[in-house]
Amino acid sequence: VMDFAFTPEQQAFLAEVEEFLDANHDPDVFDPTRENMAQIVDTPERRAFMKKMAQHGWFGITWPKEYGGQEGDGVYEYLLNEALARRGGPQIGKGVGIVGKTILRHGSEKLKAEFLPKILNAEVEFAVGYSEPDAGSDAASMQLKAVRDGDEWVLNGQKIWTTSAHFAEWYWVGARTDPDAPKHSGITLFLIPMDHPGLTIQGIWTMGDERTNSVFFDDVRVPNDYVVGEQGRGFQYISEALDLERFTMFTFSPIRARLE
């Protein structure tokens, strides 16, 4: 017989989270009317709240201890995220999940040293650049061009639906580095500062009056040190990160609340 009930330890953790959320309730931080956009950390109030969560050690629950994590069970991340989502609060998704776990698995020691402490301390926000005007669900069709020039890459092209571009510090971007390779094999993953002078960010407003963005790349130079993992393996890393994203960014509790 399978027992799907949460253990006493897990229930105690959830009670601690709920107590913390009660104590830190703020309508500027928790807004269920924002639906799926409630998860993003796009205001000073939300950033301050994330900083408080980081001080509890809740950002590295599943990470290795050598990088500041607790090597805990993923179910604790799940419980935390669902509790946040239930109230329309920001979630731990992008930094801890998509970027952090991919860097832990595939990134250089330089990238680990630079980004992992900032993620754990809630000091950095990321924008994710996969979609393009002609590459939506088929991420392997991306055409943003990256050409090697000495120790740098030069990127030209466009991304679209980059929701966090106007407030994030860093851009997690897939680009085509080998136009002659099969489409799943010619993509490389980069980290780029969002204040790069070659990036132009244009707002797109949704029907719900939320903001997402187009981002234009004009000779954006990226040092080779900011390639994540191996050149040409970007699609594989993006696929892994999408698995992590489904777990850390798409929650059940708001759907249940609406049903009730």
Q: What are the backbone dihedrals phi and psi of residue 171, each rounded to the nearest 5 degrees, phi first?
A: -115, 125
Tell me the three state secondary structure of residue 78.
helix
Does the annotation count 245 as an active-site position? Answer: yes
Cα–Cα distance between 23 and 49 in angstroms, integer?
11
Q: Which of 9, 123, 245, 260 is catalytic?
A: 245
CA separation, residue 159 to residues 71, 125, 137, 202, 230 (Å)? 35, 18, 13, 11, 22
Strand partners, 211: 205
> Are the CB atoms for 143 and 242 separated by under 8 Å?
no
Which of 251, 202, 193, 248 minimizes the C-alpha distance to 225?
A: 193
Q: How many helices (H) and strands (E) does the chain have?
A: 7, 8
Residues near 156 by Cβ (< 8 Å), separated by ≥ 6?
A: 144, 145, 147, 217, 218, 219, 220
Cα–Cα distance between 180 and 193 in angstroms, integer?
28
Count of alpha carbons within 13 Å of 135, Cβ hemisphere only? 20
HEC profile of 43-74: CHHHHHHHHHHHHCCCCCCCCCHHHCCCCCCH
Distance of CA 214 to the CA centre of its chain: 17
* Residues labelled catalytic: 245
